[in-house]
Structure 1
């Protein structure tokens, strides 16, 4: 500031000085306020991807878990096109033989995409675990028998009676992506009559047309591992269950993220208990397309900023795979006192589920990790299916239900907590 060089009365000079100081202080406050209003919101997929979507056990429903000749058991599971069902159970009158289909398991859809139903026994095989010296299969077999001096690789084995005539497998399609597999011990009266132990089953995740794990239970030509030996030698499922537990879970990407800065009392994106507004949330929750809703919100009063955040490399936010970081996207936003921030993204392994901030978004002045206030919601526009079993299946049945926050466990399974699926920070 340049001053004119002549004398002013002291009192006037004092007033000018005060005004000058006041003016500078106000400018500084405005600058500081502008800086404080700006923040960076970052959204990261922190799901630890798992290769299996489901596993479980099966056994005789009676007093003994063993399935004797003439007895049956069944189990229900979910699978979309391209997925298969794999299982294993001990051939009881042996040292270490087990029933299982060839990898990746029994096909559940034909080449036209129709669910497979009926007798699928022809896909069952009998395998040698390679850990015990084989005696002639029969009721006089000594358990567990002698161990192999050198453990052998798993190989297919053929008996006088084909495996498909010893264990019958029948598929029922229960609608949507739900199936039931019934197993019946049909070995009675054959040359290879045998009890069948309790068993274990598994379904792999699929990415496009690629199964993430084609050998969930065993690998022919390789050594037995992960607890399969206990099942093949003694019929015990617990060790294999423990292994499968560690590789079963979510493997979902998250869609590009809609971020909205707004002023008002109502979340402009959605409200629980209210049906989809037809403004683009359906496209976000069903297809991961946030652009339609973003374009609409830009025209809505009270909405100040709208962004669609995409991972720079892949657009969608992929989960953590093989220890690598998951997808991440960031955006600088400007939120003043009284503003609020809403965000939403599709949970990709669903028909119409989305992740969003609960209640009425978050205060614009909030800073730090806000992952704990995120929730998983059902948009109510498509019939829900098992997460991870909808991929490649026929379009889900349309419905018209209010938007609701999902409980965890949900009606199908238990997902990780929200902070274990998505990390959201404002800094």
Structure 2
């Protein structure tokens, strides 16, 4: 009897246990499939900075004995170019040889002082050159426009010219934190080539992978004048050329391999605005685009369910739209349940320590575009410089300068430039 009771009890217990398990499983949330896609949708531009210069006095002309200055930022390998008319000519202009004046030496040290030897005098090839004492404007148009050519002592008409460096003195001063002042002085007074200089334009090209995106921003030797340069060379009018270069000046940045985190029951585990970087690896993302350390740490955090690092195919980093070619994108399929949240982080590649990250708690099971919930943040661990033109930016061959500030949203406009709207740089969708 006792044995029969024990046997019956065992069977009933087993059935109860099975029923309990079945009930728990029936109540467990059913995982659903969701795919996150991150795209670099930035319509990138090749020039990081550009501008105009002219005399600040009653006349915009830079007369003999006068000077003009402008400021700019640059990274190692980037160069500054400019163009201004040799006023007492039919169509001559001053400009550095392409790609422009290098502002750092091979060791990354800023170059200061006289750089006039890099300035050349050019014939625009659109007007017949007259004797220097008989120049009239606009002069006679060339029957067949000629290519831009350097004047080396004399032009095709036999008119003679001193070297450009004898008429124009150009000097650089380093202001610190990747910022320079370039000064153009008119030293032609009393020479056989005394001339005013016209208002001009200047530009800085991005450098990507050791190559300038636009090594001939204002002119190309041996080719026809384009984009409004003729207006400067013939009439000293910088309006058209500046309109052109302003249109190709803007933002260029890759995004680093993207960190994606699925979590539940905790706050966003990547960062907290108003607090200093916690030292778990976010600094490596923000400064170098390396998510390894933070990924490894997050895998140990209770409440974190899955961690992914998504590099782009071929390039590893997510490149922007370049000359109409689509930007890079990455995707990851996720198994998520009700209550799961999702967060991402990726470096603004051409910065000192800026990173994009999702804000607030984002439902990982939702569908659609969540780009409006992405912000741009300053990690506060490196001194900021002009994005894409900082000599200590890691992705521009620099070493970040340390600082210690709380994580904060990057203002827009900021101290350096005005950025496009965030959703015009990075697009994040769940589907």
1:286 and 1:211 map into 2 onto residues whose CA distance is 22
1:34 aligned partner: 30
1:267 and 1:136 map into 2 onto residues whose CA distance is 74
Output one character per residue of 1:264-323: Cα deviation in whole Å (capped at 9) or x when no partner: 352111111110000000001111111110110111111111111121332211112232
Choose the corresponding residue for 2:108, options 113, 118, 143. 113
Q: Counterparts of 1:27-106 in structure 2 under 5 Å?
A: 34=30, 37-106=32-101
1:376 aligned partner: 376
1:191 aligned partner: 192
2:181 and 2:192 map into 1 onto residues whose CA distance is 29
1:366 aligned partner: 366
Given that residues 177 and 393 in structure 1 are in contact (C-alpha distance below 8 angstroms), is that contact kept between their aligned partners in structure 2?
no
2:366 and 2:429 map into 1 onto residues whose CA distance is 10
Three-state SS of the structure 2 residue aligned to 1:164 is helix
Given that residues 90 and 127 in structure 2 are in contact (C-alpha distance below 8 angstroms), is that contact kept between their aligned partners in structure 1?
yes
Shift of 1:240: 0.9
1:232 and 1:264 map into 2 onto residues whose CA distance is 67
Three-state SS of the structure 2 residue aligned to 1:342 is strand
Given that residues 343 and 361 in structure 1 are in contact (C-alpha distance below 8 angstroms), is that contact kept between their aligned partners in structure 2?
no
2:397 and 2:309 map into 1 onto residues whose CA distance is 28
Given that residues 176 and 396 in structure 1 are in contact (C-alpha distance below 8 angstroms), is that contact kept between their aligned partners in structure 2?
no
1:146 and 1:160 map into 2 onto residues whose CA distance is 20
2:265 and 2:407 map into 1 onto residues whose CA distance is 21
Three-state SS of the structure 2 residue aligned to 1:114 is coil
Choose the corresponding residue for 1:417, options 404, 414, 421. 421
Structure 2 stretches of 5 or more lacking a match?
A: 1-21, 154-159
Is 2:145 aligned against 1:151?
yes
Is 2:293 aligned against 1:292?
yes
1:135 aligned partner: 130
2:387 aligned partner: 387
- Structure 1 residues 374 and 137: alpha-carbon distance in aligned structure 2, compared to 1, 3 A threshold: farther
Higher deviation after alignment, 115-124 or 315-324: 315-324
Q: How many residues align?
A: 398
Choose the corresponding residue for 1:405, options 409, 413, 416. 409
Shift of 1:85: 0.7
Tell me the C-alpha RMSD between the 2 structures: 1.8
Output one character per residue of 1:142-179: Cα deviation in whole Å (capped at 9) or x when no partner: 11111111000001113432111111101001112111
Structure 1 stretches of 5 or more lacking a match?
A: 1-22
Shift of 1:337: 2.5
Shift of 1:393: 5.2
Output the TM-score relative to the length of structure 1.
Answer: 0.89
